[in-house]
Amino acid sequence: MGEKKSKPTVDKPNLHARNKHNSKYDFDALCAVYPPLAPFVAKNEYGNISIDFFNADAVLALNKALLLHFYDIQSWDIPAGYLCPPIPSRADYIHYVADLLYRDFPKLKKNKLVGKKINILDLGTGANCVYPIIGSKEYGWSFVASELDPLATSNAQKIVSDNARLTDRVQVRQQPSATNYFKNIVQPNEYHAMVVCNPPFYRSQAEANEENMRKVTNLTKQKQAQPKSSFGGKSNELWCEGGELEFIEYMIYESKEYSRQCLWFTTLVAKDDNLKTLKSYLKKVHPAEVEVIEMKQGNKISRILAWSFYDRVEQRVWMKNIELS
């Protein structure tokens, strides 16, 4: 009899060098800080200690443990059915945009007193408020977290209110208009160094279900009777009319109106095929700079599309003024 094949199912190779999740999960440490995780931890079919990532309760418990252990979040929960974000990949986004923001001032990355003066706009924070949680801890940034869905907004506000370290770093704002991104959120004489966004990827619930079925089939090598997801997600979180392409298109066009109030606009782009079209939209609004940042998470590759209406010299002046303020 041969030994069981070892497969590091919780490894996250190729994550950003500063990402705290770029090795196997230490389940002993995680269970020590959050004991409710322990019942979900066991050896998998490869003989590795892990959880069942198809079990929504297990994934929720893991997120609570990770957020407590690494980000000092004492109280965090989401309503049933809402998106339970993969923490390692969300952290990667934050670290990569930090590199972009600080590229001419690398020493400022470690200065959290300066970081507090840096305002970040999380466009569509969801019920989980995860980008403000990570960015405020890792870099000391202050956040405005916008959200369209009233229940998600309320839950994000509860997360902020329940965690003392967030209360002076994060403002949650309700977006009243489904057709606006920055209007109603970015106030007059308010400035943001960075916009981060995790847009709805799919064009419909049917497309989201079909993609989830494909992923499950690839992982289990067998058909499932119904789509099964441990990460959840309401309609405005996972899909919108036109999918991510149309969502980011409108984001690009509206960004022009706020070109002097935001230093960098960024968004995740799930589909590589969409980049060419999105770059053509960007040409129409004439940004001074466009960047595409590739992120590798195991076998998965995703991209951050970033654009700024400030040229490189103006960007340095913006950051220098924050440093000296």
Render pLDDT for 111-120 as a digit per residue (tens, 0 to 9): 999 999 999 9
Residue 10 lies in a domain: no
Q: Can you tell me the mean pLDDT for 254-266? A: 98
Alpha-carbon gap, residue 19 to 87, rounded angstroms: 10
Report angle CA 92, 245, 235 to the nearest 5 degrees. Answer: 80
User: Distance between CA atoms of 92 and 16, rounded to whole angstroms?
Assistant: 6
Question: 3-state class of 18 per DSSP?
Answer: coil
Query: Residues of the chain with pLDDT > 90: what percent?
Result: 77
Q: What is the reported pTM?
A: 0.88
- From the list 63, 72, 62, 191, the residue with the least C-alpha distance to 138 is 72
Token pair for residue 34? Answer: 């959050």
Residue 301 belongs to some domain of the structure: yes
Average pLDDT over residues 84-106: 97
- Across the range 29-54, mean pLDDT stands at 95
From the list 317, 261, 309, the residue with the least C-alpha distance to 120 is 261
Tell me the residue range of the domain where 202 lies.
79-324
Residue 284 lies inside a defined structural domain of this protein: yes
Band of residue 2 on the pLDDT scale cut at 50, 70, 90: very low
CA angle 197, 280, 262 (to 5 degrees): 40
CB 184 within 8 A of CB 113: no
Is residue 47 situated within a structural domain?
Answer: no
Give a yes or no: residue 71 inside a domain: no
Q: What integer pLDDT is reported at residue 237 of this predicted model?
A: 53
Q: What CATH number should be reported for the domain holding residue 307?
A: 3.40.50.150
Q: Is residue 110 part of a domain?
A: yes
Q: How far is residue 252 from each of residues 110, 294, 315, measured CA to CA in Å?
A: 31, 19, 19
How many domains in the chain? 1
* 66, two tokens: 């990770």
Nearest CA-CA partner of 89 in 27, 21, 156, 140: 21
User: What amino acid is encoded at 257 in this protein?
Assistant: E
Asked whether residue 62 is domain-assigned, the answer is: no
